[in-house]
Structure 1
Amino acid sequence: MKTNTDVPVAAMPALRLLYSSLIEVGAPLVIGNTPAGFRRVVPILGGRFSGPRIRGRVLPGGADWQVVRLDGTLEVEARYTLETEEGQLISVTNRGLRHGPREIIERLVAGMDVSPDLYYFRTVPVLETGDPSLAWLNTTVAVASGERHPNHVVITVYEVL
């Protein structure tokens, strides 16, 4: 395919559901204003995930290290572990952005339930495992949509085909 500038365009990738997760979170630990921005750490308490090929639980002990930038955009970097129903472990590093109109973000921060249609929350999870039967996860590129709720986060992960 060519554009009007005659620069070739690669095929548009498709997406396939990998899994959706409900991640229970604790109260943020506020580090405060730092040279990089306003920092806080949100503990991950547990949860569950389910998809066509993998399902199981989110193990407690992870966290989401967040920075609120000067423009109000939230940078997220969550690190946590999934355990499949078969006992296989998957390490997840999930980086992304959440932003929206100031009044909507203020409602989220205040712990109110806000429709995910009113803000942008997208991430790029990197999955890693040592289990041979799940080795395909180590070479999978994924993207995700997020929803923030008062006591949990929903992250729906799609495999980029």
Structure 2
Amino acid sequence: MTLNSEFLFSMKAPLLPPLDGGASSAGHLLPILVAEGGTFEGPKLSGRIVAGGDWFRMRNDGSGVLDVRLAIQTADGAFIHLTYGGRLVVPPDLIPQVMDFANAQKVDPAKYYFRSLITFETGHPDYVWLNDVVAVGVGKVGHGGVSYDVHLIK
């Protein structure tokens, strides 16, 4: 069986600076809240990010574990809940630059791995099809936050 995908949307999420939750046995806790002004745009849905955050954890091996919850609102008023996990794997010498959201665009995204697996939940009749699919986000950091190209996996 062949894996096929379809472009769903591009998303830009401005981020507040990480909160330092300290080191735990599972890694360093760095919750990151989404700031106002986030957007997503694509052929089947577009709108704004209403609220959300990443309960990000930097593991002891230097790779980042994503644990994101977002509430988004489409241009026609539907609310959709996104949940996603993933990985941000950055060479150790580039971690300080990549975690500096305002300036991280200076680091070539080809030098790090930033992927997410996204699921959706909504009760809006025009978008219930999202409840039964998964998507993959290919991310990059910079310009004050993160951006993703999100692809529906068929």
TM-score, normalization by structure 2: 0.93
Residue identity opposite 2:97 in structure 1: R
Larger radius of gyration: 1
Q: Which deviations, in whole Å up to 9, do the C-alpha atoms of 1:69-117 show, x marking residues without a partner?
A: 1110100111111100111000011110011211122321244322211
- Structure 2 contact 15–34 (Cα < 8 Å) conserved: yes
1:129 aligns with 2:119: no
Residue identity opposite 2:42 in structure 1: G
Residue aligning to 2:60: 70
Residue aligning to 2:2: 12
- Structure 2 contact 26–60 (Cα < 8 Å) conserved: no
Q: Which deviations, in whole Å up to 9, do the C-alpha atoms of 1:106-146 show, x marking residues without a partner?
A: 32124432221110000001111110111100011211101
Q: What secondary structure sits across from 1:136 in the alignment?
A: helix
Residue identity opposite 1:99 in structure 2: V
Residue aligning to 1:117: 110
- Number of equivalences: 150
Instruction: Give the aligned CA root-mean-square deviation in angstroms.
Output: 1.2
Q: What secondary structure sits across from 1:123 in the alignment?
A: strand
- The structure 1 segments of at least 4 consecutive aligned residues displaced by more than 3 Å after TM superposition are none
Residue identity opposite 2:22 in structure 1: G
Structure 1 unaligned regions, length at least 5: 1-10
Structure 2 unaligned regions, length at least 5: none
Change (3 A) 1:95 1:20: same
Segment of structure 1 superposing worse, 106-115 or 34-43: 106-115
- Structure 2 contact 88–114 (Cα < 8 Å) conserved: yes
Q: What percent identity do the matched residue pairs reach?
A: 31
Question: 2:83 and 2:142 mapped to 1: Cα distance?
Answer: 20
Q: Which deviations, in whole Å up to 9, do the C-alpha atoms of 1:32-79 show, x marking residues without a partner?
A: 1012210011011130000111000011x3111011111101001111
